[in-house]
């Protein structure tokens, strides 16, 4: 019940578009701070800016209540060295984290996260987010602190990084008194609704179902100060113009540039289709500087992901659950548990060899039934139940008869993962930011995934909160800039062009066309020849296919514009890959024509921006942010800590 064809059969006609169509109409609004993207970072930015008295507009493609990567939930609040049980100094931990992520980490974002995300989490609790086991549901579970009722996670309990921690396997490895208590298990599904409620309480103007499409430069000149943004209502097609003294981009990533077949996209990707790099694309068009665009990663997918990745079945969310073969033999597969100090490491080659020799018999299982039921309960009903899209998995599997005390979940990793390198993902590239999370353009700030080398949920929250107060302070210091009507008109024409056609190429075909180019020429192995071919093909797509793009309603128009963003994003990436003439695993970049790791080149970020429509490359030294502790303190002498709600 509820499908379109059932409606047709019952009513004898298809349903009309349920929202008023307003193609060509426009609304104009003004704010001190306009935030583009209402996920975790965007909500926090809005709240933090509004708390300083700024007039805030929050533009969100979906509905803020459940939008963004953290809309459904979140299982861990990572990097909380400021919490009362931590055994780590925040500044020391920030340096550890920066190193652990490779030399290309975002030290500014990490320092902000380590200094402020305990404050951020306490504010989350003020707003109604659940962060403690206050109902004593998980008494006796390892990592639960009796005094604070915080639930610490085994993840990172013995040190940062993805490999096996030092001392692993030795007697008395990782005893409770030595754990760093750096990661807190939280009830993340309660967070987004609470953030939306707080935005409303503070008087933030929330533009739900408005997709941001462009930034407005002062006098319409690329590279000039940002003075506003435009958007499209994804249900009515109305064009929205926001004049603002400061704009924060807190939009999502670009998970789907290589991922063909949109009809199976949703369950084969970790990202919702809404993640389409609109933020990066519009910033690039406005003249903002981006970096790390040459990095891409293998995507561990094949014919489906959700059931493999999110069930505790061993591909990612296997926290504390041992992996066994069909005969119950324990596999060399890290559990991310107390026994291995939260290691995120498994010995793939050993398992492959073991399968071939008969040592390990397929299929493999996550042995929920093999551990203390209290711990299995915490993994199933707290961690997995709160981990984003897993909540519905826990619910349907429990209703379907799965019992964590009795059963083992089938693991698909070694059955299916064949290293399909043509499926890749971007995700590490983004806006280059300075200490105020300001970009190279006056008036433009970035937070969360929009920054280069972004982190997780708590990174998004802490950087959003930080960018909000910085952008609000800037807005207070400056008069409103002048938007340019010609720039607005040109954008309106670009946005509405697909609605002027009734046939041609629809968004899914365009999307798949782009993905083919990325899979064939921008796969694991790259060369000048393949990258040139990619650019040539994308040029052809832009010349012949894009002018045929058509959209029959505002929803399809939104998807069409997303694909145009992905095309822009792909071109930036390919240009960066061409410019970076080396091979290095830190960037997941394999240039077969430049197999050497050029040590000198690896000391720089490759940054790109547009000037008069032409790409400009710059080399910015690694750790350009200076001494993280000193610089953070120099830029935040007036930081006031946890918000004190008015009586």
Closer residue to other proteins, CB minimum distance, 41 or 572? 41
DSSP-derived 3-state class of residue 325: coil
Give least dist CB 67 to other proteins, A: 5
* Ranges within 235-274 binding other proteins (CB under 8 A): 235, 262-267, 269, 271-274
Q: Which of 51, 61, 243, 492 binds other proteins (CB under 8 A)?
A: 61
Q: Does 7 bind other proteins (CB under 8 A)?
A: yes
Q: Does 1 bind other proteins (CB under 8 A)?
A: yes
Give least dist CB 241 to other proteins, A: 23
Alpha carbons 331 and 352: distance in angstroms, whole number: 11
Closer residue to other proteins, CB minimum distance, 74 or 108? 74
DSSP-derived 3-state class of residue 219: helix
* Ranges within 182-221 binding other proteins (CB under 8 A): 189, 209
Structure tokens at 60: 């969100």
Q: Which of 229, 382, 397, 510 binds other proteins (CB under 8 A)?
A: 397
Closer residue to other proteins, CB minimum distance, 44 or 365? 365
Q: Which of 389, 421, 422, 597 binds other proteins (CB under 8 A)?
A: 389
* Ranges within 121-150 binding other proteins (CB under 8 A): none
One DSSP character per residue, 531-550 reads HHHHHHHHHHIIIIIGGGB-
Measuring CA to CA, which residue among 477, 473, 452 is closest to residue 463? 452
Closer residue to other proteins, CB minimum distance, 65 or 476? 65
Which range touches other proteins (CB under 8 A), out of 15-23, 287-295, 372-380, 482-490? 15-23
Q: Does 494 bind other proteins (CB under 8 A)?
A: no
Closer residue to other proteins, CB minimum distance, 62 or 514? 62
Structure tokens at 312: 């505790």
Q: Which residues of 131-160 are buried (b: 16+ CB within 10 A; e: fewer)?
A: bbbeeeebeebbbbbeeeebbbbbbbbbbb
Task: Give CA angle at 429 (427, 430), nearest 5°.
Answer: 110
Alpha carbons 107 and 98: distance in angstroms, whole number: 6
Residue labelled with tokens 């280059």? 432
H or E segment at 45?
helix 40-50
Structure tokens at 225: 């100060």
Q: Which of 42, 68, 426, 523 binds other proteins (CB under 8 A)?
A: 68
Alpha carbons 360 and 357: distance in angstroms, whole number: 8
Q: Does 3 bind other proteins (CB under 8 A)?
A: yes
Which range touches other proteins (CB under 8 A), out of 329-337, 384-392, 578-586, 620-628? 384-392
H or E segment at 210?
strand 210-217
**Cβ atoms of 311 and 129 closer than 8 Å:** no
Please enumerate in sequence order all residues whose Cβ is within 8 A of that of 12, keeping only pairs 6 or more positions apart, or say none: none
Which range touches other proteins (CB under 8 A), out of 66-74, 372-380, 452-460, 622-630? 66-74
Give least dist CB 272 to other proteins, A: 4
Give the CA distances from residue 142 to residues 154, 313, 319, 564, in Å, rounded to whole numbers and listed in that order.
Answer: 9, 21, 13, 49
Q: Which of 194, 242, 409, 472 binds other proteins (CB under 8 A)?
A: 409
Q: Which of 152, 360, 365, 625 binds other proteins (CB under 8 A)?
A: 365
Structure tokens at 578: 């061409």
* Ranges within 581-620 binding other proteins (CB under 8 A): none
Give least dist CB 303 to other proteins, A: 6
Q: Which of 206, 393, 582, 608 binds other proteins (CB under 8 A)?
A: 393
SS (H, E, C) 466-504: HHHHHHHHHHHCCCCCCCCHHHHHHHHHHHHHHHHCCCC
Q: Does 15 bind other proteins (CB under 8 A)?
A: yes
The footprint of other proteins on this chain (CB under 8 A) covers a number of residues equal to: 64
Measuring CA to CA, which residue among 457, 323, 309 is closest to residue 390? 309
| Residue 640, Cβ density class (10 Å: 0-12 exposed, 13-18 middle, ≥19 buried) | exposed
**Cβ atoms of 35 and 248 closer than 8 Å:** yes
Give the CA distances from residue 360 to residues 315, 335, 351, in Å, rounded to whole numbers and listed in that order.
Answer: 17, 17, 7
Q: Does 66 bind other proteins (CB under 8 A)?
A: yes
Closer residue to other proteins, CB minimum distance, 194 or 224? 194
Closer residue to other proteins, CB minimum distance, 144 or 209? 209
Q: Which of 169, 171, 349, 401 binds other proteins (CB under 8 A)?
A: 401
Q: Does 369 bind other proteins (CB under 8 A)?
A: yes
Q: Which of 171, 203, 400, 621 binds other proteins (CB under 8 A)?
A: 400
Q: Which of 178, 221, 352, 395 binds other proteins (CB under 8 A)?
A: 395
Interface residues toward other proteins, by CB under 8 A: 1-5, 7-9, 12, 15-18, 61-63, 65-68, 71-72, 189, 209, 234-235, 262-267, 269, 271-274, 303-304, 306-307, 311, 313, 365, 367, 369-370, 388-389, 391-393, 395-397, 400-402, 406-410, 555
């Amino acid at each position: 019940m509820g499908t379109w064809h059932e409606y047709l059969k019952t009513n004898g006609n298809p349903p009309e578009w349920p929202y008023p169509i307003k193609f060509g109409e426009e609304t104009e609004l003004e704010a001190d701070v306009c935030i583009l993207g209402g996920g975790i970072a965007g909500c926090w930015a809005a709240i933090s800016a509004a708390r300083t008295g700024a007039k805030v507009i929050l533009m969100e493609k979906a509905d803020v209540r459940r939008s963004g990567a953290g809309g459904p939930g979140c299982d861990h609040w990572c990097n909380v060295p400021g919490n009362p049980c931590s055994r780590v100094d925040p500044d020391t931990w920030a340096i550890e984290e920066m190193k652990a992520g490779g030399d290309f980490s975002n030290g500014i974002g990490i320092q902000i996260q380590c200094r402020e995300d305990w404050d951020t989490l306490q504010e989350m609790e003020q707003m109604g987010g659940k962060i403690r086991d206050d109902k004593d549901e998980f008494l006796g579970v390892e990592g639960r602190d009796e005094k604070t009722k915080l639930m610490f996670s085994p993840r990172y309990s013995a040190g940062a990084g993805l490999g096996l921690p030092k001392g692993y396997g030795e007697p008395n490895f990782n005893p409770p008194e030595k754990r760093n208590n750096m990661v807190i298990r939280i009830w993340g599904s309660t967070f987004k609704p609470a953030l939306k409620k707080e935005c409303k309480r503070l008087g933030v103007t929330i533009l739900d179902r408005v997709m941001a499409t462009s930034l407005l430069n002062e006098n319409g000149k690329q590279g000039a100060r940002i003075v506003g943004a435009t958007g499209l209502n994804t249900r009515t097609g109305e064009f929205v113009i926001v004049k603002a003294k400061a704009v924060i981009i807190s939009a999502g990533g670009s998970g789907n540039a290589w991922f063909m077949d949109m009809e199976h996209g949703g369950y084969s990707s970790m990202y919702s289709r809404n993640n389409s790099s609109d933020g990066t694309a519009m910033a690039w068009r406005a003249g903002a500087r981006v970096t790390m665009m040459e990095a891409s990663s293998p995507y561990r997918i094949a014919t489906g992901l959700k059931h493999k990745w999110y069930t505790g079945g061993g591909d990612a969310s296997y926290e504390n659950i041992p992996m066994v073969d069909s005969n119950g033999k324990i596999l060399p597969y890290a559990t991310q548990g107390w026994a291995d100090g939260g290691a995120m490491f498994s010995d793939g080659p050993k398992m492959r060899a073991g399968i071939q020799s008969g040592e390990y018999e397929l299929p493999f299982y996550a042995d929920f039934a093999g551990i203390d039921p209290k711990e299995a309960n915490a993994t199933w009903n707290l961690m997995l139940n709160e981990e984003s899209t897993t909540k519905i998995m826990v619910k349907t599997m429990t209703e379907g008869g799965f019992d964590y005390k009795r059963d083992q979940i089938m693991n698909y990793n070694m059955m299916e993962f064949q290293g399909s390198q043509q499926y890749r993902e971007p995700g590490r590239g983004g806006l280059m930011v300075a200490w105020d999370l300001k970009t190279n353009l006056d008036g433009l700030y970035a937070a969360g995934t929009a920054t280069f080398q972004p982190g997780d949920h708590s990174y998004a929250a802490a950087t959003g909160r930080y960018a909000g107060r910085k952008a609000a302070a800037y807005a207070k210091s400056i008069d409103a800039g002048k938007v340019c009507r010609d720039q607005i008109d040109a954008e309106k024409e670009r946005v509405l062009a697909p609605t002027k056609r009734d046939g041609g190429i629809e968004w899914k075909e365009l999307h798949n066309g782009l993905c083919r180019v990325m899979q064939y020429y921008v796969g694991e192995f790259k060369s000048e020849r393949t990258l040139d071919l990619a650019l040539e093909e994308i040029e052809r797509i832009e010349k012949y296919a894009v002018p045929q793009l058509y959209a029959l309603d505002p929803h399809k128009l939104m998807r069409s514009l997303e694909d145009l963003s992905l095309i822009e994003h792909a071109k930036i990436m390919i240009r960066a890959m061409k410019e970076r003439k080396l091979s290095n695993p830190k960037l997941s970049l394999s240039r077969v024509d430049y197999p050497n790791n050029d040590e000198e080149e690896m000391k720089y970020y490759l940054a790109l921006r547009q000037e008069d429509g032409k790409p400009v490359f710059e080399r910015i030294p690694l750790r350009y942010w200076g001494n993280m502790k000193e610089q953070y303190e120099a830029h935040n002498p007036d930081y006031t800590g946890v918000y004190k709600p008015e009586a």
